[in-house]
Structure formats: C-alpha cells, structure tokens
Amino acid sequence: MHEPDKNGSISLTRYLIEEQRADRIGADLRLLIEVVARACKSISVSVGKGALGGVLGEAGSGNIQGEAQKKLDVIANDVLLEANAWGGHLAACASEEMDHSMPIPDVYPRGNYLLLFDPLDGSSNIDVNVSVGTIFSVLRCPDGVTNAQDEHFLQPGTAQVAAGYCIYGPSTMLVLTIGNGTHAFTLDREMGSFVLTQRDMRVPASTKEFAINMSNQRHWEQPMQDYVRDLLAGETGPRGKNFNMRWIASMVADVHRILTRGGIFIYPWDKKDPTKVGKLRLMYEANPMSYLIEQAGGASTNGRMRMLDVAPTQLHQRVPVFLGSREEVAAATEYHLKHDAQA
C-alpha cells in the first residue's frame, strides 16, 4: 500500500518503487518511466517559456503525416530521443515526428522495451496558448530481436505494459497506467518532482457531455450522423437527456477532462480524405489513451470493436476513435453496429 511521506505526499519515484516491490513492474520499466517523466519536465519548461523562449511558430520542416512541424514538435522529439538513448532500458523508439522507428545507437546498452510517442500532441494550439501534451506507449521488444524495426512495433493495444500522457496546462500533470489503475501526478516545480494527486481516476459510466469537431458533420458516415442527430435532439429525442459540448482540439486536454469528469471523445472517419481511416493515430495516440481510459473504468472503440484489440498493420496508421464514459461509448458504437447489420 502506498503510504504518504511525512509531508503527506507520494512522489512518482516512490509510487513506482512500491509497484516494483509489489512485483507489478520490473526495475527496467520503472527506470524507463522515470526517464520519460524527466523528459516531460524538460518539455514543460520549454512549453512554459512561450514567446520568451523563442520556441513558438513553425520549424520550417514537415513530418510523415504531411503536417508542418512546430519548433516545439522538434524540440520535444529531440528531448525524448536524447533522454532515452543512453538510459539502457529501450531497444528502439518510434515517434509521430519520425518516418520510421529508430533503434537505440550501438554505443549505448539496449533494453527490452519499445517506446512510442507523440512528443507534442495538439501543437497547433501552442501559438494560441492552449494546453498541449506528450503521449507515450510502452511495448515489450519481441524475444530474440536485437535490432528492432517498424514491424516489431505492430502489436495490439492489449500488449502495452505502460501508457501515459503529460499535459502542459495551468499545471503540468503526468497521467500514467502500468496496468494497475490510472493515476495522476502533478509537477511540484519547487521540488522538481511529480507528486501523486489523483489515485485511481474513475470515468463516470454515463455522461451528458460530448467532444466532437462538428464542422466535419457533412463528411461523416450515416450512423455517425444519426448518433449526433439524436445527441442534439436532447431530452425531446430518443436519448431522453440534454447534452453539452466541449472541443479543445487538443486530444490530451479533451481526454484529461473526460478522465476527470466523464464524457465521450469522438474523432470519426470522414470522407474528406477517404484514404485516411480517421485523423488520429493508433499506435501512439489511440492505444495509450484507450489503455488509460479502460484502466479508469471507461471504454474505447473504433466505432465497431474494442480499440485495444485492433491489429495494427502500419506504424503510423490512423483509426476512428470513440472513447470515454463506457455507457456512452457503447451507445455510439451500437449505432454503427446496427447500421452494419442492416447493410
């Protein structure tokens, strides 16, 4: 049991050591999570400087997603790569900002884990001073693989051994699961350590709040149109209750709200670009967020099946995302399954 320090707080380090003592994680995974947390502290400092740090605006480069990179996208990516290169816990890294995965340089010892991350999700919000975040996912490197390549990362979300995000908002918070609940740690800037502030976060089973970018409505498939039509009909419609809407356009911020007070977050398939099966990426956005949500009692699907069961085929593949309060996710998914059954 995690007993507080004399000042009543439990640091991330102490939490992880006690999870190790309980045989829920090994020393290598504990140390890997500590390295990622330290990198997030460094990113938080850069994000926090804003215009004073000369880190805003475009980097003048693009990524494999076809997106213009912000300076902070590149800075955050470099911080995570540098912090993990010499740590000795990783076999390889994969990032939204890199075309392919990258083995740990030969000059350093390699570990048994694969780290995937979106170094700065929602970076389009930085220039307007809205919360952004780092999302990460940890997989085991397959036995016998000494030089991990992209295909070794293609494991379903159920294979994750840890997942989390760091949200750079009014406070910097690390939200983490190692498969034993979802817990939030707030950065104590004076001490420079993450302190446990929300143990065992729980997503309320039902909700009256949805997070969707409504401007895409005309591009959605029919079951999604029907589902949102019924949400908007409120208590006079088939759902029998009124809904509120929130859309921050920063997945980390929207998911953090849902982990804190419930809701449903949806980024569905749309026909704006039929070649893209949704906007969000499976391996380093949907899967880690789905693991956190499920560990907090919520649910996550791609509109038809459990997200964590989706079998990946490409490192940067996209997926429709329906996650949050489990009763609402079930309702939204049912619209899609019923539509398919009638097709």
Q: With CB under 6 A as the contact rule, which of the stretches 5-13, 117-125, 151-159, 289-297 interacts with ligand P6P? A: 117-125
Closest CB to ligand P6P among residues 29, 252: 252
Residues 122-141, interacting with ligand P6P (CB under 6 A): 122, 124
Q: Is 124 annotated as a binding residue?
A: yes
Q: Is 216 annotated as a binding residue?
A: no
Considering the rule CB under 6 A, would residue 213 count as an interface residue with ligand P6P? yes
Q: Give the position of tokens 């970018």.
A: 213
Q: Give the chain's largest Cα–Cα span.
A: 66
Check: CB of residue 153 under 8 Å from CB of residue 282. no
Smallest gap from Cβ 210 to ligand P6P, in A, equals 13
Smallest gap from Cβ 124 to ligand P6P, in A, equals 5
- Contacts by residues 176-179 (CB-CB < 8 Å, ≥ 24 positions apart): 176/12, 176/33, 176/292, 177/291, 177/292, 177/295, 178/19, 178/24, 178/25, 178/29, 178/33, 179/24, 179/295
Closest CB to ligand P6P among residues 203, 252: 252
Q: With CB under 6 A as the contact rule, which of the stretches 40-48, 250-258, 299-307, 324-332 interacts with ligand P6P? A: 250-258
Q: Please tell me the distance from the alpha carbon of residue 166 to that of residue 199, in angstroms, as a whole number.
A: 16
Binding mask 262-301 for ligand P6P (x = CB under 6 A): -----------------xx---------------------
Q: Is 44 annotated as a binding residue?
A: no
Q: Is 118 annotated as a binding residue?
A: yes
Q: Please tell me the distance from the alpha carbon of residue 202 to that of residue 291, in angstroms, as a whole number.
A: 13
DSSP string, 207-226: -SEEE--GGGGGGB-HHHHH
Closest CB to ligand P6P among residues 196, 280: 280
Q: Please tell me the distance from the alpha carbon of residue 114 to that of residue 103, in angstroms, as a whole number.
A: 9
Q: Is 279 annotated as a binding residue?
A: yes
Considering the rule CB under 6 A, would residue 249 count as an interface residue with ligand P6P? yes
Cα 62 to its chain centre, rounded Å, is 22
Closest CB to ligand P6P among residues 250, 300: 250
Q: Of the candidates 165, 154, 164, 158, which has an alpha carbon nearest to the alpha carbon of residue 317?
A: 154
Strand intervals (E) in the chain: 58-62, 68-70, 90-95, 102-103, 113-121, 132-140, 162-168, 172-177, 183-188, 193-198, 209-211, 244-245, 264-267, 299-301, 321-324
281-306 burial, b for 16+ CB within 10 Å, e for fewer?
A: bbbbbbbbbbbbbbbbbbbbbbbeeb
Q: Is 123 annotated as a binding residue?
A: yes
Closest CB to ligand P6P among residues 250, 302: 250
Query: Of residues 19, 121, 294, 328, which one binds ligand P6P by CB under 6 A?
Result: 121
Smallest gap from Cβ 129 to ligand P6P, in A, equals 15
Smallest gap from Cβ 182 to ligand P6P, in A, equals 19
Q: Please tell me the distance from the alpha carbon of residue 26 to that of residue 297, in angstroms, as a whole number.
A: 25
Closest CB to ligand P6P among residues 104, 126: 126
Smallest gap from Cβ 86 to ligand P6P, in A, equals 30
Query: Of residues 29, 47, 251, 282, which one binds ligand P6P by CB under 6 A?
Result: 251
Number of Cβ atoms within 10 Å of the Cβ of 17: 16
Question: Annotated binding site for substrate: which residue ranges?
Answer: 121-124, 213, 279
- Give the binding site for ligand P6P (CB under 6 A): 121-122, 124, 213, 249-251, 254, 279-280
- Known binding-site positions: 96, 118, 120-124, 213, 279, 285
Annotated binding site for Mg(2+): 96, 118, 120-121, 285
